[in-house]
Structure 1
Amino acid sequence: MLKITRVPANTPPGDSLFVAGSFNIWNPRNPAYSLTKNPDGTYQITLPASLGPVEYKFTRGSWDKSETGADKQPLPNRRANLQQAAVISHEVLAWSEPGAAPAKKQTASPQVHTLSDSFRIPQLGRTRRVLVYLPVDYANKPKKRYSVLYMHDGQNVFDAATSYSGEWGVDETLDSLRAAGQDPSGCIVVAVDNDNQHRSDEYIPWRNAEIKAGGQGGAYVDFLTLTLKPYIDTKYRTRPDAAHTGIAGSSLGGLISVYAALKYPRVFGRVGAFSPAFWVCNDSLKAFAKMHPAASTTRFYFVCGPKESETMLPLMAAWRNNLRNQGVPASNMSFRAPADGQHREWFWQREFPAAYQFLFRPAAAKTKAAQ
């Protein structure tokens, strides 16, 4: 059992408290993980001991209202082994609030611009902010066309000021690779924000009854494929074929990227799956893959930390094997599990350059994939 013995005096009495962690795909407002408020002002929730080692944080329903240190600065994830203690007690020192902490420095490069603050998602009846990174030479080479990489969790892709758990630095990485002569062709990056409330629903194709999330992933991928991509291909000088169209993300973003390549193999030919959360719908995804096999020409880059969870590496390895059995050659797959890997933005940021170079290397180049 997790127990909060004290909360800040300014905690609104009507607010519910939640725990978000490695066991519920870091959903800050999952009703199944709402804490019970006791008459003495404490809060508690009982989690299955079978979860074993877990990481987590407490929130008031969103990452904008998550626990912080007394100085209002973000805290590292809490850690506990549920098999080693019956009751694990905590104190929440303060809550983050929009505008309460000093504004974070903007780090997005000049090549990043906002396509729209409210791009319409007709498949879901919502809108979303969409960001676009253009290569440095885009304006100076009017006849050149570029590959495109679609990425999820757009808040974390380019800018520390908008990130809620660290940024990937994709813009700086691509600028640096180009300056070093390691990315001669260039790439447009389209980053779609999540909206916090619906992230889990949109990034999981099927409903997961246990965590009470998912089921809208198919509609979200339809949006990327049938609405956003045609718009991008019309507005920018893209190379629209699958060999030059990638999709990438982390955790649930990695999961939905693999699903997208299975559902639309003639659209997404390059897939970056960083710490993919296959566990939330593995059986359903396997059944889907039997009816919707991956294209043999698709490239997959898989990476995770071997200690992220008990299932992370085994499931990722199983999906590598599934894809191999479907006919994706070893040369089209990279599989990495560095010992220090964690479920963190700094890890995915570090791994992004290698992933990008593997996925978008010229077809004629010979690169040995890690097995």
Structure 2
Amino acid sequence: MKNNLPAALVALLVATSAGATTVRVHYDAGKGSIAILGDKGPMTWSKGAPAKAGSGHVWTYSWPDELGEITMKPALGEKVSIGGTYRIAAGSSVDIYPFFGPPFGKVTIVAGVESPQLKNSRSLRIFLPASYQENLAKRYRVLYMQDGQNLFDAKTAAYGVEWAIDETVNRLVAIGAMDEVIVVGIDNTPDRIPEYTPCCDPKHGGGKLDAYEAFVVDTVKPMIDKRLRTLPGKEATAIMGSSLGGIASVLIAQHRPDVFSKAGGVSSSFWWNERTLVTKAAARVPVKFYLDAGTSGDGLEDTLLMRDAMLAQGYRAGADLLFDSAEGGKHNEASWAARVEKPLTWFFPWGSTSY
């Protein structure tokens, strides 16, 4: 049943209540103002309750805990914030960093990033989310991805097909399926196989993964945290890749759970070195892992074995280990683009960012 208490009564209840639920909206509204749309009290979905302006472009609105959980969205004049609604539990104080402009992020390229660990250089392809230039108070979780050339642009992708990470993130944010994130695509080099692998496969060699891990953790991440408005802690940091980049991402997260809280291995090459990653599965660490493989020549059997080995180490299906068998999925960018929303929405569901 709807609760349409008059605004004056709500204000009285807030003043006399043992507790008040509060939302703080961080946004520079310029000459405008922020209102709160919602499903209870004086808030409706057609007419918002005015929030109170404070210092630092923070707009505050409170209501009595007695109203229970409220679903709400901020509005700037007639513009409603982009993305999903926010469910505010009774008694909580929640910070929200909305945006109201077009839901399109932007990819920039940082060329010539030197790696002292690997004695080479490469480009970083950085996706900045739609709100990055609009809401300067906001900070972001970060997803680091391997094979950066293949993520955003078909012209640079190895086989002329991109993952379309930018378009996918834009769409998922716009419909309220995931929170905004910065995506850092790390280009591969002619040393891709050794850089993404531990030592040593009888046929392919390998063995530079430790140095590559140090490059990501000690060079790339500090640079990104210094240059961009990131949330630098482990809970806000994820890593993901495909094929050899998948095993690199899984192993790096297993080695550095102090840096990464989430890792995705898409069509990962768990066949590497006679399945050593499976037969000598690492002990459980406090990281959420996403594993998948397609059903069409994509190493599904190896990935199933890795999933089972991780479950045997204490991972919990659906809690800190999510596995997906992609019907008809192949070992290529088109298949990865078609299912990448699964790890994205599992890692970064709407409203899950802690500030």
**Shorter-chain TM-score: what band?**
0.5 to 0.7
Q: Deviations over 1:162-209 (max 9, x none)?
A: 1121100000111111221222x31000001112x2111111111223
Which one of the candidate residues 203, 209, 230 is aligned to 2:196? Answer: 203
Match of 1:230 in 2: 222
Amino acid at match of 1:301: Y
Q: Secondary structure at 2:326's aligned position in 1?
A: coil
- Within a 5 Å distance, the mapping from 1:18-37 to structure 2 comes to none
> Is structure 2 residue 307 aligned with structure 1 residue 320?
yes
Match of 2:285 in 1: 295
Which one of the candidate residues 172, 178, 181 is aligned to 1:187? Answer: 181
> Is structure 2 residue 329 aligned with structure 1 residue 341?
yes
> Is structure 2 residue 166 aligned with structure 1 residue 171?
yes
Could you say if the C-alpha distance between residues 363 and 256 of structure 1 is closer, same or farther in structure 2, counting changes exceeding 3 Å? farther
- Within a 5 Å distance, the mapping from 1:225-304 to structure 2 comes to 225-281=217-273, 283-286=275-278, 289-290=281-282, 293-296=283-286, 298-304=287-293
User: What do you get for the CA RMSD once the two structures are aligned?
Assistant: 2.0
Q: Secondary structure at 2:170's aligned position in 1?
A: helix
Unaligned runs of 5+ in 2: 1-103
- Within a 5 Å distance, the mapping from 1:65-76 to structure 2 comes to none
Q: Distance in 1 between matches of 2:297 and 2:278?
A: 22
Match of 2:209 in 1: 217
Amino acid at match of 1:220: Y
> Is structure 2 residue 347 aligned with structure 1 residue 355?
no
Aligned residues: 248
Single out whichever of 216-225 and 326-335 deviates more from structure 2.
326-335
Match of 1:132 in 2: 126
Amino acid at match of 1:274: V
Contact 1:244–1:360 at 8 Å: present in 2 too?
Answer: no
- Could you tell me how far 1:325 is from its partner in structure 2? 2.6
Amino acid at match of 2:303: M
In terms of fraction of residues, the more strand-rich structure is 2
Contact 1:206–1:284 at 8 Å: present in 2 too?
Answer: no
Structure 2 length normalisation: TM-score? 0.66
Match of 1:29 in 2: none
Match of 1:155 in 2: 149
Which one has the largest radius of gyration? 2
Contact 2:199–2:208 at 8 Å: present in 1 too?
Answer: yes
Question: Percent identical across equivalent pairs?
Answer: 35
Single out whichever of 200-209 and 153-162 deviates more from structure 2.
200-209
Could you say if the C-alpha distance between residues 348 and 333 of structure 1 is closer, same or farther in structure 2, counting changes exceeding 3 Å? same
Could you say if the C-alpha distance between residues 313 and 363 of structure 1 is closer, same or farther in structure 2, counting changes exceeding 3 Å? farther
Amino acid at match of 2:183: V
Single out whichever of 298-307 and 123-132 deviates more from structure 2.
298-307
- Could you tell me how far 1:321 is from its partner in structure 2? 2.1
Q: Distance in 1 between matches of 2:273 and 2:306?
A: 13
Structure 1 length normalisation: TM-score? 0.63
Which one of the candidate residues 121, 127, 132 is aligned to 2:115? Answer: 121
Q: Distance in 1 between matches of 2:163 and 2:251?
A: 22
- Could you tell me how far 1:355 is from its partner in structure 2? 1.4
- Could you tell me how far 1:283 is from its partner in structure 2? 4.7
Contact 1:248–1:272 at 8 Å: present in 2 too?
Answer: yes
Contact 1:254–1:275 at 8 Å: present in 2 too?
Answer: yes
